[in-house]
Amino acid sequence: MTGRLCDGRVVVITGAGRGLGRAHALAFAAEGARLVVNDLGAGLDGAGTSRGPAADVVAEIRAAGGEAVPHGGDVATSDGASSLVATALETYGRLDALVNNAGFVRDRMLVNLEEDDWDAVVRVHLKGHFLPLKHAAAHWRSEAKAGRPVAARVVNTTSGAGLLGSVGQANYAAAKAGVVALTLVAAAELARYGVQANAVAPAARTRMTEEVFADLTALPEDVSPLVVWLGSESSGGVTGRVFESEAGRLTVMEGWHPGPTSTSSVRRTPSETGEAVRKLLAVSEPPRPVYGAG
């Protein structure tokens, strides 16, 4: 079959053994991409490892006539992230797109959140985005400097929790907010090398969301078309953006931007500052409510 959106492209997806990552892998394969399917095989809370999930997705892709290889490394380590990129290059000779998706949750109210729960969630979501991106970007920079054309794509996975906050998910929300900032920096720094970076905030029923949002019925497969398009050359010119995707709804998110402003030629007292702030808040847009807030 010819004319598919990602024919000939090599795509690496982290956390691709289940849920959203699995759906993305199958969707990319259906559009002709060759895959490196990464998954540590950890439990919902990040405990344990298993090669089964990644191997199962690879088998499913191959059974449908596609090309894929598994990778079981921990992408929140430099060795795991570098071997992920190396696997793509050694297997297929190139790398065209990176989809960062790996993660788990350990939900607690803020006062009950243990330091280990904070560290583990921030590590997998934020460091687990940074390290694969760093190693992939180093490869693309080398390619660009060598005069070889690069049309690379990075799709990072953020969350509504990172955009608005989510009660009981301080660690997860903070990490996902960090993913947005990381995406914006990557888009700015890597554009000169032919790399585009965007983030997607998906809403879909997976094992990670089914207990938090019991009424959520949107499927991971509903999000994948956006991710595939962003990972393809067809998305040329789209970078530094954040999208929400749920079922048939697509939204371009518009983040922090200057609102009402007050200036003074002299230093204000604390009381004068408070009065100025009150006036600004009176004419500003109210913040959207945090997920789960009463």
User: Is residue 159 among the annotated active site residues?
Assistant: yes
User: Is residue 176 among the annotated active site residues?
Assistant: yes
Residue 157: Cβ-neighbour burial (10 angstroms; 0-12, 13-18, 19+): buried
Active-site pick, 82, 166, 172, 232: 172
User: Is residue 172 among the annotated active site residues?
Assistant: yes
Active-site pick, 83, 159, 235, 245: 159
The DSSP call for residue 267 is P
Angle value at C-alpha 123, between 119 and 125, nearest 5 degrees: 125
Active-site pick, 92, 176, 232, 245: 176
User: How many Å apart are CA 237 and CA 208, to the nearest integer?
Assistant: 32
Read off the tokens for 185.
């920096």
User: How many Å apart are CA 279 and CA 196, to the nearest integer?
Assistant: 40
The DSSP call for residue 269 is P
Query: Please, how many CA atoms are within 13 Å of residue 27, restricted to the half-sphere of its CB?
Result: 22
Q: Which residues are catalytic?
A: 159, 172, 176
